[in-house]
Copies of this chain bind each other. A is one copy, B any other.
Amino acid sequence: MDTKRLETIGNKKLTRRDALKLAGVGGLGLLVGAGGMGALMQPKPSAANLAGSAESNSADGIVPFYGKHQAGIITPMQDFICMGAFDLTATSLDDVRKLFQSWTEASARLTAGKSVGDESGHSLLPPVDTGESMGLGAMRMTITFGLGPSFFDERFGLASKRPAPLVDLPHFNSDDIRKEWTGGDVVVQVCANDPQVAFHALRNLARIGRGKAVLRWVQDGFQRTSAADPKGSTPRNLLGFKDGTANPNVSDEKTADEIVWAQSSDDPAWMAGGSYMVMRRIRMRIEVWDRSTLADQESTFGRHRESGAPLGKTDEFDDLELDRKDSKGKPVIPATSHVALAHMDGKVKILRRGYSYSSGMDLKTGQLDAGLLFVCFNRDPRKQFIPMQQKLAAADQLNEYISHVGSGIFACLPGASEGGYIGDTLF
């Protein structure tokens, strides 16, 4: 456990014991953050997100759609993601409003394990729901909506409403961004403990959007399933290393408010309770990585591969203690290792919520097109994601093995109350 990290959370000194109390019923597992929780031992998310109906902790349960915040942000991670970005073809704000009203209604049903709408009963009409999730459960599905910078162009008269934190992402060193994996007026993140359930939701939302929105890109992702890891250990990325160990403990409301949620004191007010998502499609150079030595790999991450412990330590949750030196006076954890750079002196944190992806072969290179669908949430990307990524892009040893090929930044709207709709604070 990284006591030093916890001490800085919420600008309040926390002892290790406080940290454990704070974790509550979830036990130590909770401290792992969203990335480290298996669905079978998932804690209840922040009470603020639980308005509406009762939360189920089982792998096939229901995560309430309505609440102060959108679900799928501080919600403990599900096993699968199906993420899509849409370009709007609607030409009026009124049509956009109707689209979000329809999407809200459909999402509330889908996340409750229902079909997207009641069937008409007329066999001479297309079915209301495409049917492939019939008989399957809710599978802890969450559906999360965000608006990209392009949403705030001249089309809908909302240019003046564009949130200042929703900047265009700068070019980072070592970026190799492809248009086909980038941007979008609207992002829809669907996460669930079943890939067919998640695909079904995105597909039906696309169908509802016909005439108003077209899909721009779609990316599926996975973690190990809950069944493969019932203890809910920190998942491993496709480089074989545990990923998510240092995620902040957002089950603590104060931490979540500081790191994740836009506040009413922030500008704009209509984003209060929302959050900013950054998506990066990070291709891993699997074949190159697989030829590097274990020492190189561990030096690159700054952690031991098997245990996930910081270099020179034995437990995954041991403190990093970046100032440790070896007998020759060199840092035990190299300053250009991923973990040392991402630590940002403990002052800058983001909530990571990424998934591995495997998309067959890259026909151009004849290598695997696999890697990380990096997703993170932060209260202000100008102060969190961007400076962190600038530091990583400049010096991270990991850059030798990865390539950012897709990118997106989205203002994830506040949650909606029953009767309201996602976006109602803006539209």
- Set of chain B residues within 8 Å of A327, measured between Cβ atoms: none
A225 near B228 with CB under 8 A, answer no
A172 to B159, CA, bound (A): 54
B237 near A132 with CB under 8 A, answer yes
Indicate with 1 or 0, residue by residue over A115-149, a CB within 8 angstroms of chain B CB atoms.
00000001111110111111111010000000000
B124 near A295 with CB under 8 A, answer yes
B130 near A194 with CB under 8 A, answer no
A294 within 8 A of B: yes
A203 within 8 A of B: yes
Closest to A356 in B: B196
A226 within 8 A of B: yes
On whether A214 and B131 interact (CB within 8 A), knowing A60-B228, A125-B293, A227-B194, the answer reads: no
A219 within 8 A of B: yes
A236 near B306 with CB under 8 A, answer no
Chain A interface main SS type: loop
**A397 smallest CB distance to B (angstroms):** 16
B360 near A139 with CB under 8 A, answer no
Closest to A366 in B: B214
Of A238-246, A254-262, A264-272, A317-325, the stretch lying at the interface with chain B is A238-246
B137 near A228 with CB under 8 A, answer yes
A197 to B228, CA, bound (A): 9
5 cross-chain CB contacts under 8 A: A125-B293, A131-B305, A180-B363, A193-B227, A195-B195
| A contacts, CB < 8 Å to B | 59-60, 79, 82, 122-127, 129-137, 139, 180, 193-197, 199, 203, 206-207, 214-220, 222-229, 233, 235-241, 286, 290-295, 297-298, 305-306, 356, 358-361, 363, 366, 368, 370
